[in-house]
Structures are given as structure tokens and as C-alpha cells.
Structure 1
Amino acid sequence: MTDEGLVDRMALPRPDVTVADAEEILLAHYSLSGTLVELGSQQDRNYRVDSDRGRYVLKICHAAYETRELEAQNAAIHHLKSKPDAPRVPNVIATNDGREIVVLTVRGQGYQVRLLEYLEGRGLTELRYVAPASVAALGALCARLAQALADFNHPGLDRSLQWDLRRAGPVAVQLLSAITDSAARDRIAKTMVMAVRRIQPLAPSLRLQAVHHDVTGDNVVGHRNAHGHTIPDGVIDFGDIIRGWLVGDLAVTCASLLHQAEGDPFHILPAVTAYQAIYPLTAEELKALWPLVVARAVILVASGEQQISVDPENDYVRGNLDREWAIFDTAMSVPFELMEAAILKAAGADVAAPETSGWLPLLPDIDPAGIAYVDLGVQSPHFSAGNWLNSDMDWRLLARAATENGTAATRYGEYRLSRAGTAKKQATCALHVDTCLAAGSAVAAPFAGRIGWKDQHLTLTGDSVTLHLDGLDLSVEDQAEIAAGDPLGTVVGEASSLGGLRVQLCSVAGLEPPLFATPREAAAWSALCPSPSLLLGPEADAPRADSTELLARRRAHLAGAQKNYYAAPPQIERGWREHLFDVEGRAYLDMVNNVSILGHGHPKLAAAIGAQWLRLNTNSRFHYAAITEFSERLAALAPDELDTVFLVNSGSEANDLALRLAQAHSGARNMLCLLEAYHGWSAASDAVSTSIADNPQALTTRPDWVHAVISPNTYRGAFRGPNTASAYLSAVTPVLEAIDAGGGGLAGFICEAVYGNAGGIPLPDGYLQQVYGEVRARGGLCIADEVQVGYGRLGHYFWGFEQQGVVPDIITIAKGMGNGHPLGAVITTREIAQSLEKEGTFFSSTGGSPVSCVAGMTVLDIIAEEKLQENARTVGDHLKARLAALIDRYPVAGAVHGMGLYLGLEFVRDRTTLEPATEETAAICDRLLALGVIMQPTGDHQNVLKIKPPLCLSIESADFFADMLEKVLDEGW
């Protein structure tokens, strides 16, 4: 076809074939009738046909397209059907007389008609968020398809097509005439020129074969995996199949992903990695990939604008324009060189390093071994109590080190804590080195090059790299050519004072590189901005943490049952208030850590523990003031009747001891507990734990002295709503009667006063009053497990049992009472405590130690001083209202449970059946992690978000969590 013919075809509107016309065609040629729904297309007319024989797609194409082009599409489908590893493709449906293509005329216009099977599945285009797993699966599908087409040949593949990226430059020129906005037209034209300049030298090395050339979210369908991610496995349209560049096929796929990338071009990289693992591209093809993505973006916007001009009623094209401009803007948001480096690294290929042999010292009068490098990373000992939040903290530390040592410097590649934040794209990785040294220090050219000077910023551009310097009194002319070793100037500053010199290298001439990169982009930027250690010595490079290797070591030596959060967890090495920080300087909002009730890194607690440890730490059998004072304070927090305290190390130990007390005091062994409950991991506390999420065999492995009754779950239990106490008591009565009949007596009843493990569900009003009465009537003791829900977390109450208006016989506490220090307690009456002495004495070696007691008292002090219970009430009520508002908008959000800062948001697939959305909840938690929120599921069905952050949670942080959760529910996971 001539270029004129291609131009004419590019200007074609969709075929003028109505639904009525299509119905006649179907009946006449396929003996089919049914309901027709038009599907979007740029230049074809497509109808979905729902008939009693199945579902199909009727495709109507202009006669301007050669029949052999359509024959090639059909032949490719047949070819792929014979390949066992190829993606799913639709069947081609023949006419009544056996033809696969029908040539016909409608109102004087010639068209070609085909009928294909409708391939069921979910597309990607309608998704607002495409998970990395889906991105990788799309890349893998593209590779499998190309691999399966590698031996496919057909005369119809050699065609003139506006989407053929080999013709991108000329096609763009033809299309640009339709764009009336001159600024947009110029921008598009300049972009295409840049892309073509990078493609042309590589073009002779790019492989040709049959390629689909349109593996996009519109043209693939897939299934949902266990995490709710759409995994494409089928291809539904072959309208753009050609003999073209193999890498161009992947470029089309990558470009299609950019409108769902939130402006982040690195979003495509999982597709590149997956493609390369199946059907490897050459180094030249990998280098051509991003310019071809940009070229595709240009053609998309130019073609869309042009098509609207000839077919203004085409809502499909008009609806795509914003998406195509988003693709274009994202493609042009980063330098070509950066994406080339990122793609090469994603594919496991090498990125060429600049030539550095023969370089001379940058600071000729300073011994590199004498430079003191300051640790500004996440684990730096210089940081505590949030001091890194001071805007000048890094410079103050640098200047102090220089004052002490003479010359000091920061480290290249270090993830700076001072740069950490909750924003998704926070740039924390230093791509430069700042030095602090004597003003007037000489600075010399390490290599030959040309000088550039602008706004106190010097560049020295050599053959393969540019040196960027700030902080110089210049001693050479702008644009001067200088030799290696020639003086560049001296460090700015008055005599006998310190000055600063910023040093950065960049291999891209004319590019002003950023000083910091996001962790996601750090590897690619580091390839373009090599380390100044080449000029300052090897100590200028910060050590890198290998979190993957560290996790492997953990799993090699730590018992497998001792799990960690997340399949690919961030390496958390610092905390401050309600935030945690990983080794790359990423801040995460901690919404699950009820152990750290005060928040992380509290200076007063750290100081108190440290001071006590320096004085004394021993076991609780010694006589010292702290154990007396702490016991008195704990007893004072409990109801008057409960005046005696045991100090232990954990909640499991506290509950174990409480069970032993109940059995010793009552003389019986039988214990009543609730289903869906968790009380600990020790033999006794595990025995009364019935949560199948924690132990899948819990319901079939309880010892005979444990008697579990149905959980009073007012949301999904046997009886629903707040006024169900009597109904739930009726389920307890037969169990109590069976215990009575057995003659062994009842030792007691243990439960959380708010159903913590199920997501903070309050018990029905009056439930504990009634059950406590029945238990006590049989001589049993009532144990309130307050390990999770007590200590002010509920905001409106200090203890959970207060909400039920009861007083237990035994209170167990742990977790928050030590803010992470191993500390637990049992509070009971003197009489009950003395019952244990019949079995011998009791002690816990470190429970109640001087350090533990000081930790516990300091926590109580801080709770009071910082009004954390009041904060839990205020912030918790605000957050609960934010979460409740989600229920009206998102069907998956079933209910909000709890109060204060012990909340649970339960996800369901159906609000009538309450089918738990287990997989969705796990995927939501993973997406929240990517957005900077630590969140985990809870409950027997693992479908409830367990929201129990430090009690210092601010309104701003609560809103951040609610905003990110709303974003996930709105966009998908």
C-alpha cells in the first residue's frame, strides 16, 4: 500500500452499520439472532452478540483494508490454538456456507465481516489500579504470545498500519495536522523527534517477526487470583497484527499501562522483568524499548485527536483521549536515560559505567583518609526523639564533625532519615556528597573538560561524565576548556571558617540530576549518577542493607512458626510515635501495634529504663522499692475489691496464671471460654484459645476441661444486634448444665470484655452480667482478659469490663503496659491470690524486676501526662466516623466494630450472607503497605482490619489512614 493509501485509511470513520444492519447480517450469514451491544473501537464497528447458542463478537471492517490482512488475523488465531503454551484466543466462527470472512455492501459502502467467539474474562483497562502482579502477568502474556508467533508467517502480515512503530515518525507527521492546539502540536512533534533520534541507531539491530502489536488492557482478559488481582491469560483482538519489531510489541504493552501508573513510569518494570524471563530481548532491544514507548504515546494522542476530527460522535475515542494524554505525560515525566537504566536493571542487564581511569584528586590538599563521614541513615546513633525532623539537623551534624575533625562529609547512596515521610514517592537516597571543610580549600579538575557556570553552580563536562559542584569561588572562565589537575577554585567562606562543597557526578550531559532519589528509582539514578567516592575515597559510599538476604537468614534460623508480617516485608529499623521507618527511609503509619501503646522511641521511657538498668536489675525475690510502688499503682487502677498483684512477662503468662488461680481457688478444673477467642500460646492459655485463624485445629483439639460456647458476635453470630444478651445466654446454659451433670464443677470463665480477636466487637449489653452471675453461682471465677482492650485503649473506658458494668474476679494485662518491654500482670483479690499458695510459691524471674517495674510506672506516668486515654477517645471517635462513612460508598465494607483506638473494619462479599472477603482483605493490607500504612487482618475469617495503633495517634495520621484506605477501596487492590 502507498503512503497515500495509508493516509486515506487513517482518516476513515467507523463503518456506518447500525444495530439493525448487524442483526440482518447475523441472521443471513450465521443464522444467529440475539441481543446486540456495541463495543468500542477506533475504526471498526464491533457488536457483542448474546444468543441462545452462546456469546460472540461481530466485527465489521472497511473494505479499504485488504482481505489478506483479515485472513492473517484469523490464521494467527488458528496458529495459536495449536500452541500449548500460548494464551487463550477466541475461536473464529464460519458462516453458514463455511466462510470466515464475508464481503458485503451496506448502503453502498463495502465492508468485511467476521464473527469471533466472545472470550470470557476480566479486562485491565477498567481497573483504576493495576497491581504489580497484574503488570507482571501482562508482560508474561505478551512474551508468551510473541514466542508462540515467532514461527508464524502469512502474506497479510506485510501491511501498512498507522500503529506500526517502524513508521512512527512519518505517521506522526501526517496526524499532527489535525491538532489545532499549536502548543500541544509542537510538544508532540518535539517529543517524536527525540524518540526517533534514539531509535534510529538501534533500528538495524531490532528483530522482526509476527507480533500482535496491541497487547493492552483493552485486548486481554483474565481471571482473579487468590489475592483478587486480575491475571490476564487471554487475547481477544488481532486487528493490529503485523510483521514488526519484536520489542515494539512490548513497547505497546508498556505504554498501555502508563495511564494506570499514577504518573510513575517505573510502574511498567514488572512487565519488563516478566517478559525477559520468558522471551529475552537483546541489549539493543532493551535500549530501544523506552523510546518506542514514547513513540507509541505520541501516536496515541495524535491519532486520537485526528480521529475525533473525522468522527466527532465516536465516544469510544473521545473517552480514551484523557487516558492517552496521561500516557503521554507520564512517558515524558522522566529522562530517556533514566528509563533506559531502569529497564536494563529490571531485565538483569548491565548498565555501562563511565570511564574513570586516570582521574586526579578533586581536593588536592586533603587526604581522603582524613575525611570523617557522618552517618545520617535510618540507624544513625546521632538521631533520637525525632531530632531528625529539624530542617537543618543534617548540616548541624556535618558541621560538628568538621569542627572536631577538620573535614567531614555525608555519604553517597545513603537513605537519609531526615528525608523520610509518608508520601509514596519520598526521595531519601542521596545521589551526592556534601563536604564541610576549611574555607579557601583548593578544588581541582579531576579530568579534562569544559566549564559551565550558572547561579553559583559549576559543571565540568568530560568525555563520559559531568561533575557538578556547588560552593566554589570560581577561578576559571565559563566555557573554558581545562586539563585534568587544573584549579577550579576554592571553597567559599571567610578565612578560618568552615565552608561547604556539594559534589555530584552525572553521565548525562546537560541534565541537572536530582540530589535525592526515591527508593524505587534509586538503582536507576545511581547508574546515571555514579558515586563521588571515585573522587573522595571509598568511605564516601554508604553501606547497603540487603533485606532479602537478612530475611533468608532469619528464616534459616528462626522457627518457622514464628511468622513475620507480609511475604516481602520492609526491614523496619526505627520508630517514632505512630510511625515506623524502614532502612530506605520510608515512613509507615503503624496502625496495628497495640504493644507500643505510647508510640515508638519515647525518650522518657528510654531514659527511665536506661537509668534503672545502670543502677540495678535483678529478679523479683529481692526487696526494692520499684516492685512495691508499681504493685500499689496497678491495684489502685482496679476496682476496690481487686487489691493484689502478680507480675509476669507476657499476656500468655498472665492468662496462664489466671487459669491456674481459678482452678486452685475453686478446686475445679473445667473452664468456660468463647469461640473465636485468643488468650495466648502457653499450654493453658492456648487451651482456652479457640480462634481458627491462630490454630486451624483449635475446634478439634481442645482438652476435655475446656468448654467453648458460641461467640456473642453481634455482627455475624447466631444472634445479631445489640439486644441479644439473653439469646446468647441461652446458648451458654446447656454447656453449664452439662458441666453440672458431669460433677467436676466449674473453675471459671475467661473472655475479653470487647471481642478483640474478632476485630473489637463489643459484647451485647448485659451479656457479662448474666454470664458472670451463672458462673459465680457455680463457684467459678470470672477472668477479664484485658491484654488487648484494656489500659485506656477504648478511650471511653480504662478497662473493657467497665463497658459491661461488671467487676471481674481476675484481671489480666500485658502488651501496652510495658510499651514493648516484656511485662504482664494479674490483678485479683487477696483471698484468690492466697489460693495459689496451696500449690507452692510463685515467682517470675524478670516479671516485676526493677527495670520492668520502672518501665511499667513510666508508661502509666506518660499515659496520664500526655492524656493518651482522652486522645484515644477523641481520635478514635473521629476515625470510627471516617470508617463508618466508607460503608455507604463501598459494598465490601460491611461494618465498623469497636471504640476508641481498638477498631475493626469488617469486609464482606455480600452484606446479606456476610460471606467473608478474606482474600480481598489480605490484598487490601498489601496495597496499604505500598501506600505507607502497616495493617493486618484479624478474625477467624481473616476479613477484619485490626486497627489498634499507638494511643498517641494524631488526627492527621488517622485521616491519612482513612484517606489511604478510601483510595484503595476506590481504585482497587
Structure 2
Amino acid sequence: MTTSHAVAVDAGQAQEIAERLYGLRATASPLPGEQDLNFRLRTDDGTSYILKLHHPSADAQELDLQDQALLHVAAAPGAPPAPRVLSTADGRTSATVAASDGERVARLLSWVPGRPWADVARDREARWDDVGRHVADVDRALRDFRHPAMDRELLWNLTSAPVVAQFAALVDAEKRPAVERVFERYERFVAPRLDALPHQVVHNDANELNILVDDGGAVSGLIDFGDVVWSARVCGLAVAGAYAMQGHRDAVATVVPLVRGYDRVTPLGVGELEVLFDLMRTRMAMSICMSAWQHSRDPSNDYLLVSQQGMWGALRRLTDYDAELAHFRFRDACGYEPNPAARRIRQHVESGAARLRPLVRAGVESAVLAPPDQLGSVPGAALAIGRYGDQRDHEGSVGSQLGVELFLAVGEPVFAPLDGVVAESAVDALPLSVGGIVLLEHRTADGTPFWTRYRQLDRASAARWAAGDAVRAGERLGAVGSTEENGGRPPHVHVQLLTGLGGEGITVPAVAPPDELDLWRSVSPDPNLLLGRRGGVSARVARPRAELLRRRGSNLSRALSLAYDEPLQLVHGKGAHLYDQHGRAWLDLVNNVCHVGHCHPRVVAAGQRQMAQLNTNTRYLHDTVVDYALRLAATLPDPLRVLFFVNSGSEANDLALRLAQAHTGRRDVLVLDHAYHGHLGSQIALSPYKFDGRGGEGRAPHTHVCELPDPYRGRLRDKAATGAAYARDVEARVAELAAAGTGPAAFFAESLQSCGGQIVYPDGYLRAAFDAVRAAGGVCVADEVQVGFGRVGRTFWGFELHGVVPDVVTMGKPMGNGHPIAAVATTPEVAASFANGMEYFNTYGGNPVSAEIGLAVLDVLRDERLQARAGDVGGRLLSGLRELAARHPLVGDVRGEGLFLGVELVADRDARTPATAQARAVKEAVKAHGVLLSTDGPDDNVLKIKPPLAIGHDDCDFFLEALDAALAVVAATHWSDR
């Protein structure tokens, strides 16, 4: 760095300035700076600050731009770590001070801990993800920031590339051609696309000195907002990528996690991804040119030339890198199909527009579809197939085969499936072991190019083709080569369909590396598009765990959560157990969906049997649907006999709401606090668990929340928590509606509340609540989605525990043991109100397959006496949990019925203070023993236990031992600071 101004203000003067302007008594030490003077200030209590004294030529409005940008970032929700602007004693963000070279502007910033990125190892993927996320966090904080100076003319703005390109003449001759190529590409390809991209103020200088990291390698802050500028949003990421690429052999692979990390915070658009790689190269070229220009103005400062070496090393490696491949890699990182043209090409073939011809002669019979190591020599005219996706050795690791191998007798002809032009015919330059290669280029109807490639052809037949030769569909292309031309393997021809990069300087591999499988399968898709083999030619490829997590993050909604700190990868289930990819068994105490046991063979067989016969809708007569309706109605008390079949509990509750509103002509609904009735919009509005939670929009006008009758932590406790006392709140809500000139359409209540914390209502509550609602003309809905079908043991339905009969019953999860089936049961009177002329139809509700599965579940419940088991095993669990409660003060309450149990953890039994962090820790601790639990409740401090009814006594003992150990470990941990 140049030090021509270093004596303008010394450390002692900096200390005086800090005390006079900011009231800080601190020790000053100089820091590097190009034109500004920077000092680290350390106070006696260990607090550090940055004092910046800007060069006399600094623009006051640009300094204000920095200050206002930092203030804006600091005020943003979830503000990312960055310097904070500190005011002078009289409230100013800056002040003028005298220096030997003129007046300088003083600014004081908070100190951001960490070391510059340049000083630490830069090769850990997690760190690159973190850098991308942090750059995106800063961009997100600045997205609505505006300032008069934001669109200043700044040479370091990537949009200034045409101006900086004029400095290329100052670059030495070795580097100049590469630099000029980048600027030519910018003018031709990038510049025309930039205006259409999202624009905002960006940091614009996330380089190796401005990104700070902590001792663990995570980003601790982004400093130096001196280059903030209005630009295309993607330019800020491009700057970070350009610096990240320095010093890496595969620079593009290095920045893929950076791009992925940015996208996870601020999703990148397809247009941004299209130009991102070129913008990274543009930043490199600009850095080289700016160094040359600055050196021309200060020839004695050779540091300016040395500083460009990192950028030149990266640009030199990337000069001939295919921009299209980089584009594909970045799209893949963000969850897009890597090649955007691939879909058009597949559609061209699948739609029939391609008019395909067979690749092999008609007399060849397909004999076997198997991995190559299971194929012997192929006699006569038989065909064997090595599958697309088969595992192969790839540079020391296992990869997936791209293309398909057609194992045929030597000399068997191979024909062109489509009209095309020879793009390449390679023979002489290849070793004998790979035979001959022919690459054909084809076009879709809209002119999109694609290719087919044929390897291991007889060399003589391949040699007769030259680039540019036209080939007609069905024309003989070549013949299968000899064993020598197949590298000693059985004779075959390897066929690939290519959607991009063919003949473009990038060789599409025959085997995809494991970490880029999706990328290359987009470029080289399933060749059965060409073959049209009915059974397919593709092998299923298992993804590594890390790739599963990445793909879930990019292609499934981030609103979907994963259980546990270390998510499980489950592959099969049986009874009350689940099994992961390593074969480890996990006792499942939370999955009340697989009601009669995971993958119950009787239920599975019923579905398979009916699927092989017929699946249709309820507009046709079918015995099974009627049989199931009768069997289900027989489990319910009179007068509940009319059934509607749907697909989920959410849909069932939505229909129940429609029934109630049709019957009463009203819209207002009473619900219990903390209730959850489903994920549909209508049910979110009835679910305080959601609308009062994170991301919720609060109570809708037609929803009226009644007090949750929680005898343990509710307003009324212990002896005061009677059903009648709690039901008075329902009476009060009804009275409020009456005063407003209306009444309730419905009262929705889970028969035992689940998400509210496994709550068992006090005796008499539902009866009193139902009486109050019915007296006002409302409909009473019992939500049995979580607790029905014998789970509570003593009764088949949860509402029966309370001695009431609802007007509507909704059911779901357990009905199909994992198959999506649900239902609404109601009275003839309510059903008649709904039959108002508008047809009710549900495409899948009540289909024969679902009905057969539902019948099988009822059969298993009956024949295996699972309701009785729920009572027996649940009683054993309840007793064991109460014994644990007597020994572990962390357990505040144990409650439940049958196999619907809750264990509420408290930090203080007298105050009943929720132990939320401890509950999470207990959940993780029992998982370490092989037991799966979950937590719920308003404070997420209740362990919920809702296992499949197939659970046995040994499972109970195993769980109780695991929970005993977990409670002891968690109780021994200090929680005062959590």
C-alpha cells in the first residue's frame, strides 16, 4: 500500500481526536489504508473501535452514503454483522479535523471481531456457503435503501466495465489478450442483459480483506462500505465470487457453495445466473486493468502490480473455461434444471416431433437388463443392456453411467435414430481400446441443437464419416466393434443423448461424478428417449446424505422443517420401528399416522390388490366404498351415519366448516386456544397454534378463541380446573356473539388437544361447552384426526371419553396407516342442509383403493385387538412415566389416555415454569438411545408420545430406560444462561 500520507496524523493525534470528538479515552494503533488513515482504538475495558480519517479529496456526499448505508443495515430486521456508525458527542455521524495535508473527515465505527478472510484457510465448503449467505444478508438489508449518491460514477462498479476496458492498453502483453476477450464478451453478452435484472445498492467489495471470519471459519462480518453503489444485484455476488476463485484449480467448483449460500437467503433469478460467471471474470479483468492504470499514475509503487497476480492467476485458468458449463453449474447449485434447453429437447422427442427410428435392426431381441459386470458375451442376435445410471468407477470414486450400453454381437449394425449432421468422427486420434466415436448434431423444431454420441463403434465404419456429412434417420451409422475395440469388455456400443456442450470444447463424460450427477444427467438425459423401451433402461441412483440435504434445501420449500439436530434418513419401517440407511432401528413414539404399525402387510396387500384391479371415483357404484362407509358408521354413535370421504385431516376440517356454515347460515366459529386444525387457508384461520405463532397474521374476524382448559398450567388449576368452570369462557364467547346479533356456526375442538400440549380436558368440559353452543344454534365439531380409531384405549373415539356426541366428526391420519384417506361423519340433518343443489365431488375421496386400505386398517384393529393394546400398553407407559416424575424434578406433569400421552417439563415445579430448552435437549438425548420423540405445546416443553398401536411392552421398557437416562443427563446440565 502507498504510505505517502502516513504522517498526516499520527497515533497520538488520533487518540486526541477520539477523546475530543467522541469522549473516548483509548490507545490508537494504525491500520492499513490506501488513501484514508485508519486507526484501531482500544479502551481500558477491552472495547475496540475504528477511527477513519478520510483523505482531504474525499467526497462528503459519498461519505454520507456510507454512513446512511451502515445505519440502514443496522436497522434491518435480523441485521447482519457489519460496522455500526457511532455519533460524536454532539450527535453527528462525522466531523472535520485538521491534518498536515489538509482537513480530513473523521468517522468512528464499531469494531467487528474476526480475522480477514485472506489470513485463514479458504478451502472449506461450509465457509463458502457462509460467505454467500452473508453477502446475501447484506444485500437483503440494503434492498430498499436509497441515497442521492448511490448512482455515482464508480470505476469499481461492474457496469463501468466499458470505461475500465480502455485501460487494457496499459496491461502487459501476456495478459492483454485474455483481458480483452473478457471485455468483448461483456459488451456482446452481458451488457444487453443487465438492465432487465433486479437492481439495488450493493456492498460491491466482498474481497479477502473485507470479509472477516472467526476462529471456526464462519463469517463474522463484512466491513468497508466505501464502494457501495447502485448496480445489478448479482454484481455484489460476482465480486465475492471473483475473489473466492483466486488460488483454486477448479475455480468454478469452488464458488458453487458460495452461489448456493447466497441463493438460500436471496433466491437468484435465471437471468442473474446466466451472467454471473461472466461478471466474475469481468471483475478479474477490471482488477487487472485498474492495477495497471493505478501503476501508470504511480510508477514507483510496484505493489499495485503485485496485487493483480491473484486475479491474473484465476483469469488465466478461466480464459478457456466454457461459460455455458459454469452457467449450468450455478443453476444446478440453486435447484434449477442445469441446462435450460434440456426441457425443450426432451419435449421434442417425447411429443413425437422427432420421428425416431430404431437404433438396432428389428430382428435383435432384448434379452436382459443388468449391470455390465453381470453381462457375459452376447451370442447371436441377442441384445443385452447396460443401464443408464449404473454405478461405475470414476477417477477413484463410484459414479453413474451416462448413456446406455447396447451389448451386441461384433459387426451388428447401429442406425441413426434421427436426421442429423456429423459434428465429429474420431478414430485416428483415439486408442484402439475405445473404438470409433461418431457425434451427430440434430435440431428441434425451433432450432435448438442437441446431439447423439456413439462410442465403441467398429473403427472402419466410423472412419467413413467426416464432419458436415448429412445422415438420414434409419441410415446405417456403423457397427459394433471387436473385443479389442471395446477395451477387452464384451462388444457393445455406448449411446448418449446430449442436450448441450456437444462439440463445444467441453467433453461430456461417460460417467457422472457423484457430486455432479444432476448436472450431467441434464446434459446427458436418459437415452430411453431414443430407445423407447417399455420397461425403461434407467437404474435408480441413491444420493449421498449431504446431497439429499442440499437438494431438499433448494427444491423443497424451506417452510418444511426437519426433525432433530442431525436429521434421520429413513428407508423402511416395520411395526413400531423405523430403520435408517445403515439398518439401525429407531423406536417410533411419535408417528400416529401409521396407526396399526409401519408397513403392516395386511394393509399393504389390500392396497396392492385393489390397485391391480381398479381405481376410480365415487360417481360409479363400487362394493368397497359402500362397505367401508357402513363399517365406519358402525363405529360411531347415533345419529352420526352420513359419510364424506376426503384425502387429509385438513380437508376434512375444511369440509366440516362448510357443513356447519351451510346448516346454520352463519360464519363465526369458536375454537380453543393453541388449537391446530389443518394447513388449508380456512383451517389456519381456525388454528391459534398457527395464526398466533411465527409468521401468523393474527385472528380473523370470524374466529373467536376460547380459553384452553389446561388443568396443569391454565388459568384455573388443580381443584379449580373443573370442566364447568372452564366452559364459562365458551358461554362468554357465545354471549358476545349474541350481543352482536348473531351466533356461532360451529365450535371446533380436538377431543384431546395435541399441539396445545397433549391436553386432557377436565371432566364435564366438552359436555358443558357443547350445551352452550347448541343452545345458541351452533354445530359441535369433534376433531379426531389425532386421537381416533382406538388410540385412547378406553373408547374407540376420543369424544366418547367425555360422554358427548358431536354433530360432526372429522378423522384422518390413522385411517389409512400412511395412505392419504380422511373422512367427515355427520348427522342426516346437517348433511341435508349441505345438499343445496351444488354438487359435492372429490376426485380421490372414497376411491376403491383408499376404501380397501381403510377396511384393512379396521380389520387389523379388530383382529389384533389394538384398541385393547393401546389401553394396556398406554397404562404401562403412564405408570412408568409417573415413576420417573417422582425421581426427576424436571418432570412437572404426566397426562394422557391410552397411547396419547404427554410429559410436561418444567424448570420450577412450584412456578410450573416451562423448560423449553431442556425439552429439546431431552428429545435429542433419547434419540441418541434410538428413540424418536417430539415436543409441542405453547412453550414447546411437552414431550408428546403417540406411537403406532403395534408398540409392545419391551418397547415401553426400552423407552422408559432411555428417558430416565436422558432426564438425568439434562438435569445435570447448567441451564441458567439459556
TM-score category of the 2 structures, normalised to the smaller one:
0.3 to 0.5
Bigger relative contact order, structure 1 or 2 (CA pairs below 8 A, ≥6 apart)? 1
Using the size of structure 2 for normalisation, the TM-score is 0.45
